[in-house]
A and B are shown apart, each in its own frame.
Chain A
């Protein structure tokens, strides 16, 4: 988790976290994509573990997961690829997955493996907080592994506080009541919610995700949080790319820079 801490210390604003699905578009693209994102100034990588039945993912990420599974991606291979990426890079890496996949690997083994290959934190949106507290909290502390909890527009103040307390690393602020990949950008009612979120006295950095897709929505999100997470829009950019390096250069450039 030290890499995560370092980045938030160095750069309290405008953190760009890019999500991509492991094994997509091709099975072994993870290292190349990770390095290219780092080279272009992305601050954090969030790597999705492809799953057959994700509940909170929209069509774009679902389709990338299906393709990745068809490509032969699996959890063991993912750890090998992340270890390879870690040899060449110091960028913070977050793994995003569904609790069932962790269960099948063996929860303790999974978290230990994360620490071993240089993963800085995990996001498991469907893991209940009591399961984390009762079974894994101590292990995360021992491994110095990060864990990110989500808050959403309907999350009550008391629960915000709990999520903040349990989080190690950063809190994930879900931008709207939606699944991933909404294309609406950031609306007025969302801004009201962001303001409410900003008003809370966080002990951890916050990143806003879901529906962040371009420079404008990224900038808006950054006004209310330490940064933002972009997933579906990046997956759409990767789709059909014949030159990953160039695609990534253009995509990250379009997010970071004002379009003339």
Chain B
């Protein structure tokens, strides 16, 4: 599914940016498809994904989990990628693009630090200067990833404005980009931001569903599963897992949002339920806001889902009912994480645990093939898991 010429999926998307960013975004918009579709880019991209990231990531039939839910559950193992999550698919793509555009300086935002680490990693690989904006609050609660980014040679700049979390880190990165219009490329970590970012990031992540097609063919003799489940904060892993099945209405697309302490608790990040149409970070989409249009700070136990907006592609899929939405609370995600650890020997990232929690909620038939996108590994969340052990 491609956005229209102004970057809209239905009524969501576009580029709502101040004039200072216009030339940069236009330059990107005029060149990204040309560059990405070139043979030399594809060659470099594929070879790095294979030899550096470790792709293809396995599609694993989770037998004991399948037995428990009485359906056929497959896990797409993005947790086995280099740096531990799907995020690196996008940063590899964007760093190659930045080089092609002649950019010398890379900036990024990060919440939990996974995208920051993935960006710092590719900057180290390519020898480019890297500055990662991270909310002051997140710097405190994600110390290991901060240390990792520094070891990789990145500068971690605290975002001290607003609520000092992911949305503020994104604001700061955009402000930096405004101040450095010539030499800097901004590597956005999700399918958010002004057009062409949502489309570009979805393209880089689409390798997930591209692999799923032939992997399913090998496993079950058909390319299409009956359902795909993915968690959604901004929505990059879901965009990648859904991408090649968007046009096939027979494949159920299930997006799982973070309900935090509960949808009605006031401490939640379930944007599609609690949000309304508006503009955030340059994109017209669904976001959590007051009647006066002030953005509401979201909450989730998972720092990667703790975002007040949602990518415009997902807003469109949800509003047109192409995708189903479930929301999982902190507790439901934790339980799903403990369960997978115990019966499959895989500790999932808390984000991915939200996707797993949907197995409790959605109804599947016994012979349904259900793919859960296991977007990341849980090493970074050990302290949280341990603190909440039952």
Contact = CB atoms under 8 A, between A and B. Distances in A.
Given A103-B279, A174-B19, 17 more contacts: A51-B293, A53-B168, A53-B280, A55-B175, A55-B178, A62-B161, A76-B292, A104-B276, A126-B18, A128-B15, A131-B14, A152-B19, A154-B23, A155-B23, A163-B19, A177-B180, A178-B20
B286 to A, nearest CB: 12
Interface stretch (A24-32, A93-101, A113-121, A194-202): A93-101
A99 B279 contact: yes
Contacts of B373: none
Contacts of B175: 55-56, 58, 179
B291 interface: yes
A133 B180 CA distance: 29
15 contacts: A55-B175, A55-B178, A55-B282, A98-B293, A104-B278, A104-B293, A105-B293, A125-B18, A126-B282, A128-B16, A151-B19, A152-B22, A155-B19, A177-B179, A178-B179
A66 B164 CA distance: 13
A69 B16 contact: no
Interface residues of B, number: 36
Contacts of A151: 19
B292 A75 contact: yes
B161 to A, nearest CB: 5
Contact of B22 (A54, A55, A159): A159
A66 B162 contact: yes
B277 interface: yes
A32 B92 CA distance: 55
A113 to B, nearest CB: 14
Nearest to B171: A53
Interface in B161-189: 161-162, 167-168, 171, 174-175, 178-182
Contacts of A127: 16
Contact of B174 (A55, A130, A163): A55
B19 A125 contact: yes
Interface string B51-89: 000000000000000000000000000000000000000
B295 interface: yes
A52 interface: yes
A53 B290 CA distance: 13
B19 A55 contact: no
B272 interface: no
A142 interface: no
A190 B15 CA distance: 27
Interface string A172-194: 00100111000000000000000
A130 B17 contact: no
A53 to B, nearest CB: 5
A104 B284 CA distance: 12
Contact of B181 (A74, A103, A150, A154): A154
Contacts of A159: 22
Contact of B294 (A51, A150, A155): A51
Nearest to B27: A154
B384 interface: no
Contacts of A141: none
Contacts of A156: 23
B293 A177 contact: no
Nearest to B20: A152
A130 to B, nearest CB: 6
A148 B20 CA distance: 15
Contacts of B171: 53-55
Interface in B273-320: 276-282, 289, 291-295
A41 interface: no
A59 interface: yes
A218 interface: no
A19 interface: no
B99 interface: no
Contacts of A104: 276, 278, 289, 291-293
A153 B23 CA distance: 10
B47 interface: no
A111 interface: no
Nearest to A51: B294
Interface in B110-169: 161-162, 167-168
Contact of B292 (A66, A101, A128, A178): A101
A179 B291 contact: no
